[in-house]
Amino acid sequence: MDAEGLLADELFCFLEARRKEDFSYSHILSSMCTTPHPVAVKAHALFMETNLGDPGLFPGTVSLEDELIRWFADLYHEPSAGGCTTSGGTESNIQVLRFCKAAKKAKNPNIVVPASAHFSFEKACKMMDVEMRLAPLDHEYRMDVNAAGELIDKDTCCIVSVAGTTEYGMTDPIPELGKIAGQEDIHLHVDAAFGGYVLPFLKDAPKFDFSIPEVGSISVDPHKMGMGTIPSGVLMVRDEKVFCNLLVETPYLTVKQAYSLTGTRPGASVAAAYAVSRYFGTKGYTSLVTGCMENTRRLIEGMEAFGVRRKVTPDVNVATFDHVDVPKPWIVSYTRKGDLRIVCMPHVSRDVIESFLADFGEFHVP
């Protein structure tokens, strides 16, 4: 630690150099995040110092959080749904497990998740000493409903389904899982961290939202396909009473009780998510998502023309292929099974896809 502070110019010169060491999104094909929309960046800056952890001090910011929740309630076909913002999919999933475990009061609680579930459920289960039962997937990487049914018992406090899986971009058969959840009176959570900003804007997309009567909660992340700023998640619940079991006393704050996991919470990324939703409207998101899906189809068609087979036709903009290497400087990822995975985020434009395909075509020896 230096005794003397640095001059701002000198400091920013250093910071800019460090920032240049980061990869730029222009060649990143592996990420579920993207460059935030300029409207989100401007709103984020405007609300930089706001803290939703002490809501009475920031009623204006709180009203934006409320309106964002209302926007999702309408989008997900349950105008009376409630919810709250979080730091992202991991925190949302942890909160779901917290309220499901508290409500069930089982001695050895368990949850049933598809084998495709995001690793945040493993973290949540380990934190809360909940058993995680993995349901196998069908040939299209969707949760096998019958197998899930067989894993359920009297101590099951939650069935998890995914709308837009991290690795293969698939959506589980949520209406069918709803039937089981309803029969057994078990909470059904939909992890739509990625797909929650995609599926509502696509024609003929699989159903995943509150129009399925048994769906109890849905998580969705503005910092993924919402084009918001990091960190930004939303946890929607059909009935806000689920949060009651999580309330703690907060005597010296402007509100006397809280159920959120974190204390100090950014208002900036909430304002950013709200701002993009108003700026885009459903038409804006429809055109954004339609473009990403067209690019996904073009990538799949282009790769297949080189003899690299798709693993599956995805429900959202995540394309997967038989394992092949790709040329530098492209950054891709591989699934747990070793399949090539490319996420066609908004920064992965048609030009980017064409340029990747051209490089791949030169590099690839069939």
**Is residue 118 a contact point for ligand 0PR (CB under 6 A)?**
yes
Q: In the structure encoding, which two tokens stand for residue 12, read together?
A: 């920013």
Q: Which is nearer to ligand 0PR, 31 or 355 (CB)?
A: 31
Q: In the structure encoding, which two tokens stand for residue 189, read together?
A: 């959570």
Q: Which is nearer to ligand 0PR, 151 or 331 (CB)?
A: 331
For residue 275, give the nearest of 123, 71, 74 by alpha carbon. Answer: 71
**Is residue 197 a contact point for ligand 0PR (CB under 6 A)?**
no
- Restricting to residues 64-93, name those near ligand 0PR by CB under 6 A: 88-90
- Rounded Cα distance, 325 and 23, in Å: 19
- Of 162, 227, 270, 292, the one binding ligand 0PR (CB under 6 A) is 162
- Rounded Cα distance, 81 and 317, in Å: 27
Q: Which is nearer to ligand 0PR, 35 or 250 (CB)?
A: 35
For residue 102, give the nearest of 53, 158, 161 by alpha carbon. Answer: 158
Strands 340-343 and 233-237: unpaired
CB of 205 to ligand 0PR, least distance (A): 16
Strands 156-162 and 131-135: unpaired
Q: Which is nearer to ligand 0PR, 14 or 119 (CB)?
A: 119
Residue pair 95/88 in contact by the 8 Å Cβ criterion: no
**Helix/strand/coil for 212:** coil
Q: Which is nearer to ligand 0PR, 223 or 238 (CB)?
A: 223
Alpha helices in 241-326 (DSSP H): 268-305
Site string for ligand 0PR, 176-195 (x = CB under 6 A): ---------------x-xx-
Q: Which is nearer to ligand 0PR, 120 or 296 (CB)?
A: 120
Q: Give the HSE-up count for residue 149: Cα atoms under 13 Å, Cβ half-sphere.
A: 12
Q: Which is nearer to ligand 0PR, 30 or 250 (CB)?
A: 30
- Restricting to residues 221-240, name those near ligand 0PR by CB under 6 A: 221
**Is residue 285 a contact point for ligand 0PR (CB under 6 A)?**
no
Counting residues that bind ligand 0PR (by CB under 6 A) gives 14
Distance linking the first and last C-alpha atoms of the chain: 55
CB of 24 to ligand 0PR, least distance (A): 13
CB of 162 to ligand 0PR, least distance (A): 5
- Bond prior to 329 in cis (omega within 30° of 0): yes
Stretch of 30-38, 50-58, 205-213, 276-284 lying at the interface with ligand 0PR (CB under 6 A) = 30-38
Residue entry with tokens 């089981």: 180
What angle do the packed helices 89-104 and 120-128 form, to 10 degrees? 40
**Is residue 35 a contact point for ligand 0PR (CB under 6 A)?**
no
Chain residues that interact with ligand 0PR, rule: CB under 6 A: 31-33, 88-90, 118, 120, 162, 166, 191, 193-194, 221
